[in-house]
Amino acid sequence: MRMLYECTLQRNCSMTPRQVARAYGVLCTLSLAVALAFFLHGVWIVLAFSLLELSCVGLALLLYARHALDRERIALSSDCLLVECVQAEVHSQALLDPLWTRVLTTTDATARRHLITLESRGVRVEVGRFVNEAQRRQVARELRLALRQVSIMR
């Protein structure tokens, strides 16, 4: 099936979760080596504090890494508009009819985030949560153009 329009919207993340795990491993090795040396000399409190601290670091990195690969993919072919979303490793997808899809952008100036709403036969999907306002405007413009081409082709 030929794709008429395709885009992936994702946040910038310069390290994959595996690379982050490796960096965390180096940190743990360093900190635990210190803590174990003290533990072997009878000062066990260092180990307790180290474990507490490394748990905090691990939790922070985990929170970040869980969302490192979050993305949205919009793929338009002549007979369907596929919207895929991955958030914290939870996949969801929606198939919309391109002939009935409307691209809505909110005009509410007070709204904190102006996501793009795709609406087709009562199904509403929001996209653009990982990119900024300028990029959302660009995606909405490009998608409207592509949808118009589909209706002309049919």
Partner 1 sequence: MSTGIGNPAGSPDFAHDEAHAHPHGWRRWLYATNHKDIGTLYLWFSATMLMEGGLLAMLIRLELFQPGLQFFRPELYNEFVSLHGLVMVFGAIMPAFVGFANWMVPLQVGASDMAFARMNNFSFWLLPPAALLLTASFFVPGGATGSGWTMYPPLSLQMGVGMDMTIFAVHMMGVSSILGSINIITTILNMRAPGMTLMKLPMFCWTWLITAYLLIAVMPVLATAVTMLLTDRHFGTTFFNAAGGGDPVMFQHIFWFFGHPEVYIMILPGFGIISQVIPAFSRKPLFGYASMVYATASIAIISFIVWAHHMFTTGMPVTAQLFFMYATMLVAVPTGVKVFNWVATMWKGSLSFEPAMLFAVGFLWVFTIGGFSGLILSVAPIDIQVQDTYYVVGHFHYVLVAGSLFCLFSGYYYWVPKWTGHMVNDWRAKFHFWNSLVWVNVTFFPMHFLGLAGMPRRYADYAVQFTDFHMVTSIGAWLFGLTQVYWLLFIVIPNIRGGPPAPPKPWDGAEGLEWTVPSPAPFHTFETPPLVK
Instruction: By CB under 8 A, name the binding residues for partner 1.
Output: 7-15, 19-20, 23, 26-27, 30-31, 34-35, 38, 43, 45-46, 49-50, 52-54, 56-57, 60-61, 64, 68, 71, 131-135, 138-139, 142
64 versus 102: smaller Cβ distance to partner 1: 64
User: What region, left, alpha or beta, does residue 131 occupy, with left being phi > 0 and alpha being psi -120 to 50 degrees?
Assistant: beta
- Compute the least distance from the CB of residue 90 to partner 1, in Å: 19
Say how far apart CA 76 and CA 114 lie, in whole Å.
Answer: 22
Say how far apart CA 105 and CA 87 lie, in whole Å.
Answer: 22
- Compute the least distance from the CB of residue 74 to partner 1, in Å: 10
**Residue 23 near residue 15, CB atoms below 8 Å:** yes
9 versus 103: smaller Cβ distance to partner 1: 9
